[in-house]
Amino acid sequence: MNNLKAEMARYGVTTADVCRVLNCSERTVRSKLTGESVFSFPETLKIRNAFFIGYRLEYLFASDDDQPQKSA
């Protein structure tokens, strides 16, 4: 979720904003942002369409394991 968190910071989107869009608690959103639980596909669409139109879901919701590793 590093990409999503980075874009949230860049555009000033808070967890409270995401809560309003998803109609859930802040604890739920924080759990999903930290990877303890996962966003459903409909949730990813709601977030992208509300805040990041024009961004690819694959980019926003890439798992941290999918990120390229820096070589030493």
Domains of the chain, earliest start first: 2-59 (1.10.260)
Positive/negative CA dihedral, 22, 25, 29, 32: negative
Per-position pLDDT tens, the chain of length 72: 899 999 999 999 999 999 999 999 999 999 999 999 999 999 999 999 999 999 999 999 998 765 554 444
DSSP string for 4-69: HHHHHHHHT--HHHHHHHHT--HHHHHHHHTTSS---HHHHHHHHHHH-TTS-HHHHT--GGGSPP
The predicted model scores a pTM of 0.85
- pLDDT confidence of residue 70: 43
